[in-house]
Amino acid sequence: MTVHSNNHNPFSIAQQQIKACADILGLDAGVREILLHPMRELHVSFPVRMDDGSTKVFQGFRVQYNDARGPAKGGIRFHPDETIDTVRALAAWMTWKCSLLDLPLGGGKGGVVCNPKEFSSSELERISRAYIRAVSQFIGPERDVPAPDVYTNPQIMAWMADEYSSIIGTHQFGVITGKPLPLGGSAGRADATARGGMFTLREAAREIGLDLSKATMAVQGYGNAGSYAASLAESMFGSKVLAVCDSSGAIVCQDGLCLLALQQHKSKTFSVLYCVGTECMSNGELLEMDVDVLVLAALEGVVTEQNADKIKAKIVVELANGPTSPEADEILYRKGIHVIPDFLCNAGGVTVSYFEMVQNAYMYYWDEEDVREKLDKKMTRAYHEVLATSRKYQINMRKAAYVLAVERVVEAMKLRGWI
């Protein structure tokens, strides 16, 4: 299991960000203490029978960071390097994300320490069901609603929803979002994270006077969100994607990548490397390319004080959670680079998950056009609220997003009599 250095421990970063926000808002010590720690967390170990008849024990987590504004909401990751501090940080960011988008939800996150690529479909199903059995008393439609995250998908959510329904004894598909459409999923969920990010990119480009139809882009992390971001930037704005990378490495084509060919290549080889008409480069070189827009769509901690000064993009689009360290934030701000912070930029996923909860609750489902229109309205409003707060306090966009989000959570805690 990866051990993060203190400087790049994701939860330490999340706490640093809260402290900086608390200073701006002048919050007292008691309020700070509540905001700096999860309200609840569950650690579980559960056995799973493998296809060869052996039994393997898995470690899992579920963290409910703050639920002052409503039930906890947040994804479940299957990742070999999962740690409790990563889950804590992600649960904190989900709290601020839901608040920032003015959703009636708190923040949660979960994870299982495993590499899903090593398991068969039947083994993944047993892992998914066993995890839900282990946390079933901790979640529920009015308590904590999980969703997909890194290396989990609609099929895994379907198994989890079915297992929870079996435990409760009634149909409880509202316990999970990101489900397949036949089981109460929402239209427009698949590309919601990337599409929401593209709505904020559109507004940011207008703000700095960048013509996206002539803009160049590099995408760090060509997974679900990153691949959707690349194709949406091309189809919505006419932007040219020059480079992408995944865990195997990075590729570049100065004339612009053929995204259709790239998708076909990756589906066959499970890697972006050696796609026809491209050259290989390092992931570090991709981050430092002279492009208009840099999309960060991989894992946390990729832009640090060591490489931030080498970033040349005009706009940084943070589709990943926690890709930029606090020290790097200040460097980018001084350089005049417009950063669309993670829990604003990637909030499209949780927003459409919230729409899915609403649709599940009253058993009526919207079409994709309705979902996209509602998502655009939510993301655009949130972007401009953050921008106005940034100007008001003369602070960077991330600190402005924190100020807005934390203010709303603190208000809810006061109204409930917690503080």
pLDDT of residue 1: 33
Alpha-carbon span 89 to 51, nearest angstrom:
34
Residue 397 has pLDDT above 60, yes or no: yes
Residue 336 has pLDDT above 60, yes or no: yes
Residue 10 has pLDDT above 90, yes or no: no
- The pLDDT-based confidence of 326 (bands split at 50, 70, 90) is confident
- The pLDDT-based confidence of 358 (bands split at 50, 70, 90) is very high
Mean pLDDT value of segment 214-242: 96
Residue 228 has pLDDT above 50, yes or no: yes
Q: What is the pLDDT of residues 207-227, one digit of tens each?
A: 999 999 999 999 999 988 999
**Length of the chain measured in residues:** 419
Nearest CA to 73 out of 98, 41, 43 is that of 98
pLDDT of residue 192: 95
Question: Whole-prediction pTM value?
Answer: 0.91
Check residue 324 and report its DSSP letter.
B
Which of these is catalytic: 73, 109, 179, 399? 109
pLDDT of residue 7: 54
Alpha-carbon span 17 to 201, nearest angstrom:
23
- Residue 109 bears catalytic tag: yes
pLDDT of residue 4: 38
Alpha helices in 234-347 (DSSP H): 259-269, 283-287, 326-334, 342-345
* Enclosing H/E stretch for 411: helix 397-416
Q: Is the Cβ–Cβ distance between 111 and 74 less than 8 Å?
A: no
Q: What is the pLDDT of residues 65-100, one digit of tens each?
A: 999 999 999 999 999 999 999 999 999 989 999 999
* 104: number of Cβ within 10 Å: 14
Residue 349 has pLDDT above 60, yes or no: yes
Mean pLDDT value of segment 151-159: 96
Kindly calculate the radius of gyration of the chain based on its CA atoms and give it in whole angstroms.
21
Mean pLDDT value of segment 345-365: 96
pLDDT of residue 147: 95
Nearest CA to 2 out of 82, 59, 109 is that of 82
Average pLDDT taken over every residue of the chain: 94
pLDDT of residue 293: 98
Q: By three-state DSSP, how is residue 264 classified?
A: helix
Nearest CA to 212 out of 291, 325, 117, 119 is that of 291
Q: What is the pLDDT of residues 18-50, one digit of tens each?
A: 998 999 999 999 999 999 999 999 999 999 999
Residue 278 has pLDDT above 50, yes or no: yes
Nearest CA to 413 out of 138, 39, 57 is that of 39
Residue 327 has pLDDT above 70, yes or no: yes
Q: What is the pLDDT of residues 409-419, one digit of tens each?
A: 999 999 999 99
Q: By three-state DSSP, how is residue 72 classified?
A: strand
- The pLDDT-based confidence of 6 (bands split at 50, 70, 90) is very low
pLDDT more than 90, % of the chain? 91
pLDDT, greater one: 233 or 148: 233
pLDDT of residue 87: 96
